[in-house]
Each structure stands twice: as C-alpha cells, then as structure tokens.
Amino acid sequence: MKRLFALAVGLLPCFLAYSQASDEPGRSAGLTVASRIEANPWTELGNKNSGCDLGSSSLYTFLEGNITDNLSYYVENHWLSSEPGYLYEMTLHSDDINWVNAAQLTLELGDFAITAGKGSMQWGTHEEDEYDIDMFTPMVSSIWNSFAIYQWGASAAWYYGDESFVGFQASSSPYTEHPFEDGVTAFSLMCRNVTDSWDDMISVNNIGMGDGERLWVWSVSTKWQATDSFSLGTSYTSRIGDMENIFAKGSLVQLFSRWEGDKFGAFLVVNSDLGDDFHRTNAGATLLYTPSEAFRFHASLGYSFGTWVPDLLSASIGLTYYFNVSL
C-alpha cells in the first residue's frame, strides 16, 4: 500500500500537467526545473580536520497551476541531492527530507483559502520561508539543519491582503517516522502582515513528540524593505536546532540583510543559538551573480564558533541553472 501511494505521488505532476492540455478557461500550468552544483570546502580551525563535499548540489522541479478559477495545485520535487539514495530511502517518512517536498491542492473561496496535502509547516521566520534552492550551506541556522518542515496536513487561512493572512494548520509531526503514526500530530497558528515596507510574521506551534508529550515553539520575524533593492530583518525562535532531538532548549536569534541589483547581489546572515550554559554562532556572507534568468553563480563564506564546538570555516562555490516551461 505504501509503494502504491508513493507511486501515486510521483505520478501526480505528470497527471496535473496532462490535465492542462485543455483550453478550458481558468486552466494554466508552469514548470520550473532548477539544478545546482556546488563545492563546499571546510576546515576546523585549531586542528587538522578538513574536507570538501558537494554541499547542497541538487535537482528540483516546481510545478504549479490552476485546475479551475479557484482550485490550484503546487508540486515540488527534490529529485537529486549530494546523497541521492537517501531521498528515496526516506519515501513517506515525516522525520526527514525525501524526494517530495510538496504536493498540494488549494481551494480559494473569496478571502479564504483551504490547502490540503504535503507542504511546509507554518513557521514564523523568513529563513523557513525561502526555497531550499535559495539557501546556502555556510549560512543556515541550526533549525534549518535539524527540522523536517515538509509535512502532510491541511490548513485554512483568511487573507486580508495579497500576502497578509491569519492561518491555522494541522499536520503530521517531524517526531514520528511516518505521517500521523500513532496519531502524533502538530498544530500551528500563524499571522503574516505585509505592507510596502514591512513583512512581519509570528507563529505558535504545538508539536507532538509521541507518548503523549507535546512541544511548544513560537517564532517571530520582521523584515524592512528599505529600498527596492535592499532589505534587513531579524528573527527569534524559542528553541534551537538539535540534530538528535530536532529541537532543544534555548533561543535562536537571527539577523539578516540582502541587497539585490540587476545582476549582482549580496546576502548577510548571523545565527546565534543561546542557551543557559552555552552559545553557538555562525555568520555568513554570499555574493550572487545572475548574468541571465537561466544562470546564477554564488560564492559563500561562513564562520562558526561557540561553546563545546570547534571553530569552523566553510565556503560554498557553485552554479544554479533554471529552466521554465509554460504548459
């Protein structure tokens, strides 16, 4: 049964794309293929540990469109990574990433929207709002590394602007191996307010951990769009990331800024994990060069330091290729 379900999810993009062949009003579809290749050299300062890996080298497809005027879909697949076999070993897992990031249907009823399927859990930070393909290894936070944010579930939202909304979501939990195993669930309430100059969001998440235990996590983030090309912001999360337990006690504070020109751009981030008796900080900078809509070059440099961990210097150099198709 699980194999049959996995096959159905895999064929969903093909079915939806085929359904767009009709010229009926309200139907549309667009497919984006994004491929990234990069090298990530790193070294632990103070000792001889060093290495180089393929980092976030990957292949994604993004398929979205409308079936009717008020029914739309979105499918995001992660076909290849630096460890491609792992994506498929984790098929139908909710405790880690796999080759299906999203497979959603959204019904819009006036100012209300109901979404069902697999997608990102509601989370009140701008980092988690980014596409995976736009994140760079030396710059991500501990929560980005530890948290499987793509879960199965449903959400309902009231929109009071193009991007401003209040939403409620019920989903599977990243603390169980398979979706809704043993009835373990997660719930969230989120509000996002977007104006010409400000993008503010806050979420409260209640996450099932199994055996009747539940974890509360809240996060808040604000971003100021100072000019058309420059923005800066800050985020706070009431937990930090832990590779063994997903979340741990402590607070994550993030500072970020971005400048985007016609062809060049820059992205700066500082992530700090703060606990009762420890701290861990990583700071990173990325330079972007986009000579055309199809190509983007990046070069990132990050430095991590803190209690109980060796100082780490890491870098990332790579190329991302985009290919768009209107179906």
**What's the pLDDT at 9?**
47
Are 80 and 60 spatial neighbours (Cβ–Cβ below 8 Å)?
A: no
CA distance 4 to 271: 41
Tokens of 158: 């009231």
**What's the pLDDT at 312?**
94
The secondary structure of residue 12, as a DSSP letter, is H
Q: What is the DSSP string of 181-247?
A: GGG-EEEEEEEEEE-SSEEEEEEEEEEEEETTEEEEEEEEEEEEE-SSSEEEEEEEEEEEEETTTEE
Residue 137 has φ and ψ, to the nearest 5°, of: -50, -45
**What's the pLDDT at 6?**
45
Each residue's pLDDT, cut to its tens digit, for the chain (327 residues) gives: 444 344 444 445 444 444 444 456 567 789 999 999 999 999 999 887 999 999 999 999 999 999 999 999 999 999 999 988 999 999 999 999 999 999 999 999 999 999 999 999 999 999 999 999 999 989 999 999 999 999 999 999 999 999 999 999 999 999 999 999 889 999 999 999 999 999 999 999 999 999 889 999 999 999 999 999 999 999 999 999 999 999 999 999 999 999 999 999 999 999 999 988 889 999 999 999 999 999 999 999 999 999 878 899 999 999 999 999 887
**What's the pLDDT at 263?**
96
Could you state, in order of their start, the residue ranges of all structural domains in the chain?
2-326
CA distance 271 to 291: 30
**CATH match of 2-326 with 2.102.10.10:** no
Residue 37 has φ and ψ, to the nearest 5°, of: -125, 135
- Please report, in angstroms and rounded to a whole number, the separation of the first and last CA atoms in the chain: 32
CA distance 96 to 93: 6
Buried b or exposed e, range 260-290, using 16+ CB within 10 angstroms? eeeeebebebbbbbeeeeeebebbbbbebeb
CA distance 298 to 216: 36
Distances (CA, A) of 287 to 129, 261, 266, 273, 299: 20, 11, 5, 25, 5
**What's the pLDDT at 26?**
62
